[in-house]
Amino acid sequence: MKILVTGGLGYIGSHTVVQLLASDHEVVIVDNLSNTSEDVAQKLADITGKEINYEIVDLLDYDNLETIFKNNDFDGVIHFAGLKAVGESVELPLKYYDNNVTASINLLKLMEKYTVNKIIFSSSATVYGDPISVPIKEDFATFATNPYGQTKIMVENILADIAVANPEFSAIALRYFNPVGAHASGLIGENPKGIPNNLVPFIAQVATGERDHLRVWGNDYDTADGTGVRDYIHVEDLASGHIKALDYTNKFKGIEFINLGAGKGYSVLEVKDAFAKASNKEIPFEIYERRAGDIATSYANAEKALELLDWKVQYDLDIMCEDSWRFTDNLAEDQE
């Protein structure tokens, strides 16, 4: 299929592009480089041995986005582009509503105008807020605790409305749990700007010596060791979920919400220990107060993905840490 990949130079998008090209899909990437750089396109060419077709365009720029639709006959869209920093979304809500919701509306208007009826959307486990129980199933109530989460719920609702209005429409909102890891080549991975907010990128920078210790946000949760528990998923597994979801859009019309997670949780201290083993580095840590807005435990019920998409995770926590470490270590060496 010929696929438009928005945000395809970002962390999850880039790994998915590698797998799309390996599965003989044709890919056009659109990215505004707000959270990545053009070098990623070269890395993608190195990994795949294929020419990377990409356009530097902002989804908020309707006219330039339309030119891409005019010049290509797309079969479907994978929509990764968006801003994702929860804290920033609380400070700058309009930036998030604009970039995540208005931009998605632009994209969906053009899909309608050019009769592109398949979309895979990057949603998030954040739509479950503080769930009543774990594992989390797709039919749990959705609830946002911050503007970022609101934008994901809003776009899910917009997709559901279009699915009612257009009987040819086929949408899958993939609700990712906690993506970590990197491509085995060590060439692409997650390279956050500034101080990492997420656990694994932060630990990785402690391992390189860039930061002196891990701040563990609370050890008084109702979990086995008192630290927060999350469902970490290798970005390669996440990417393969998109390929399977794309295949599934050929078989159904309407909308589906599907969790992509391992179905199993690890605590902050377990992740720290796995990373120390993978990197062969010590990870000093200190216990801090809980981080505002954090919940104790989140992990997926991943049965729907298995049932509908024939998808389940292949990689365990040790490999996630080894691959994250290879990428971060390479970056640190490049910067020396």
Q: Which residue of 197, 208, 219, 301 would you call a contact of ligand UFG, by CB under 6 A?
A: 197
Q: What binding mask, one character per residue, do residues 54-93 give for ligand UFG by CB under 6 A, x or -?
A: ------------------------------x-x-------
Cα–Cα dist 124/230, whole Å: 13
CB of residue 205 to ligand UFG, shortest distance in Å: 10
Helix (H) or strand (E) holding 27: strand 26-31
Residue of 96, 128, 148, 232 marked active site: 148
CB of residue 134 to ligand UFG, shortest distance in Å: 13
Give SS3 for 260. strand
User: Which residues of the chain form contacts with ligand NAD (CB under 6 A)?
Assistant: 6-7, 9-13, 30-36, 58-60, 80-84, 99, 103, 122, 124, 176, 179
Applying CB under 6 A, the span of 56-64, 132-140, 171-179, 204-212 interacting with ligand UFG comes to 171-179
Is the separation of the CB atoms in 258 and 238 below 8 Å? no
Give SS3 for 321. helix
**Which C-beta is closer to ligand NAD: that of 38 or that of 318?**
38
Cα–Cα dist 329/182, whole Å: 12
Is the separation of the CB atoms in 225 and 310 below 8 Å? no
CB of residue 173 to ligand UFG, shortest distance in Å: 13
**Which C-beta is closer to ligand UFG: that of 177 or that of 327?**
177
Is the separation of the CB atoms in 200 and 268 below 8 Å? no
Residues in the chain: 336
Per the annotation, the verdict on 97 as an active-site residue is no
Q: Does 234 bind ligand UFG (CB under 6 A)?
A: no
Q: Which two tokens stand for residue 103?
A: 């931009």
Q: Does 257 bind ligand UFG (CB under 6 A)?
A: no
Question: How many other C-beta atoms can be found within 10 angstroms of the C-beta atom of residue 220?
Answer: 11
Q: Does 176 bind ligand UFG (CB under 6 A)?
A: yes
DSSP assignment of 47-80, as one string? HHSS---EEE--TT-HHHHHHHHHH---SEEEE-
Residue 311 touches which member of ligand NAD, ligand UFG, none, C-beta under 5-8 Å by kind: none
Q: Which two tokens stand for residue 240?
A: 């393969």
Q: Does 97 bind ligand UFG (CB under 6 A)?
A: no
Number of residues engaging ligand UFG in binding (CB under 6 A): 20
| Of 43, 23, 169, 125, the residue nearest 8 (C-alpha) | 43
> Where do contacts with ligand UFG occur on this chain (CB under 6 A)?
84, 86, 124-126, 176-178, 197-199, 202, 215-217, 228, 230, 268, 291, 294
Just list the catalytic residues: 148
